[in-house]
Structure 1
């Protein structure tokens, strides 16, 4: 069950860059969502510009593969946001839109999960952190279906089970584990200040749903899985396209050279 977890007693190095990315994103998420709580649409757009600047700046020091992963995460998450929020109504932003800062925000959130997943702290204490996450999220899910809170959370309990599958069956458990922290952070802040609100009843399943659902990290893990799985095919596609353009250009130059003779 833990075959994809880091080896016990391994020698893992701490890199300041990984912790900087995480700390910077956690801070940016809090400032952005608190700023947007009562902001006009113009400020949302300005926050979006800042988000893209920050994301591009953070990507400067990342390898090409991670940049491709982030690009896929942004595209997939943005499509998912428009489908799940304005179209399906699973949750609703203040203006009924998808704020401009959401696409780059997803990129920063994914990059943070990757940075924490490769950090010495998470690699060294992977099992302890996993136990903590399972206990906390599990207790949260049980609370949601206990009948004690006014708003039930059957969807959250289901998503918690999905999250466990990602964590213990997926090939990148450290990314999913790290995603729990940054996504729970942003969901708790965003819903607390009213930046968005989850529907009390899920529009697809018809089940009760918390605000936010306890297992909400599972949705972000889906984005992570698509980014991780789609990077290699995308990179091969870029390579094939580059070779095709290069060969086409070479043939064109050869034809021109033959014609001039």
Structure 2
């Protein structure tokens, strides 16, 4: 029964998310361009429609975090893509479907990790996810000379080593972002240069680099920080309740 519930958690969150990534990015791909010249506009309509549907049904706490994810996503895209030239989109713009996409990815990972069945098997899932990350990371280093991605992943794993509460969430984000990047670069929706930031030649990079989820962590932490600043009293109350539960004698 526990296994069935765990599979249901995947089917309700990550599987639909992976399907949306594959289908949504296909609309903006060079493959779809041969059939229809306005795929990016269709993808934009689809992603915003899904965003507002989720926004309507979610509790107010998550609505607020989705809003923050869009704001931080816009700022991050302009900084890293147009400003620092870390990567470039197919039309050399920031597609309008990208900001709601950030928010949808964020909230799907949140709901996956708050599922009861996932929490019950957290340690097992962490080990499985970590094994996949290590295989992915090693393959990209050995066969794609992805030194940049190797260093980014090393930083991710180092940070999470002493963060047991957040570990599964960020492992989840790592794998979701890795899948997103593989699909997006395969479809040629965007591309990464052969070196980190285009000019750091001692840091060769794959297209995509394996550990790019490190930069997505800024979005996650930013959403949480903004929420805490807006709800300081409620956040401190929750922390006190959690502390009491952890220190309560058995």
TM class, shorter-chain normalised?
Answer: 0.7 to 0.9
2:150 aligned to which of 153, 157, 163: 157
Structure 2 residue 223 is matched with structure 1 residue 230 = no
Preserved contact between residue 175 and residue 224 of structure 1 (Cα < 8 Å): no
Q: Which residue of 2 aligns with 1:136?
A: 132
| Residues in 2 aligned to 1:135 and 1:144: alpha-carbon distance in whole angstroms | 14
Structure 2 CA distance for aligned equivalents of residues 134 and 68 of structure 1: 30
Quick check: 1:141–1:157 contact (8 Å CA) kept in 2? yes
Report the Cα distance in structure 2 between the residues aligned to 1:46 and 1:190, rounded to whole angstroms.
16
CA shift, 1:125, in A, is 2.1
RMSD: 2.6
SS of residue paired to 1:139:
helix
In 1: Cα distance, 2:167 partner to 2:57 partner: 24
User: What is the 5 A alignment of 1:1-261?
Assistant: 19-38=11-30, 39=33, 42-146=38-142, 149=143, 151-170=144-163, 171-203=165-197, 205-206=200-201, 207-235=203-231
Distance 1:119 1:190, change over 3 A: same
- Greater helix content: 2
Consecutive unaligned residues of structure 2, counting only runs of 5 or more, are 234-250
1:255 corresponds in structure 2 to none
Distance between the aligned counterparts of 2:166 and 2:73, measured in 1?
Answer: 18
The residue matched to 1:100 in structure 2 has which SS? coil
Question: Any idea what the Cα deviations from partners look like across 1:138-196, whole Å, max 9, x if unmatched?
Answer: 233233333xx3x4211111111222134333452232122123212211111112111
Q: Mean Cα displacement is larger for which, 100-109 or 37-46? A: 37-46
Is the Cα–Cα contact under 8 Å of residues 72 and 230 in structure 1 kept in the other structure? yes
Of stretches 186-195 and 135-144 in structure 1, the one that deviates more from structure 2 is: 135-144
C-alpha distance in 2 between matches for 1:127 and 1:17: 16
Secondary structure of 2:49 counterpart: helix
Give yes or no for contact 2:24–2:47 (8 Å, CA) kept in 1: no
| 159-168 vs 187-196, which moves further | 159-168
**SS of the residue 1:60 aligns to:** helix
Residue 7 of structure 1 is matched in structure 2 by none
Query: TM-score with structure 1 length normalisation?
Result: 0.76
Contact 2:126 2:167 in 1 (8 A): no
Count of aligned pairs between the two proteins? 223
When Rg is computed on C-alpha atoms for both structures, the one with the higher figure is 1
Encode CA deviations 1:50-93: one digit per residue, 9 max, x unaligned: 21110121122322222222221221122111111122221111
Residue 212 (structure 1) shift: 1.4
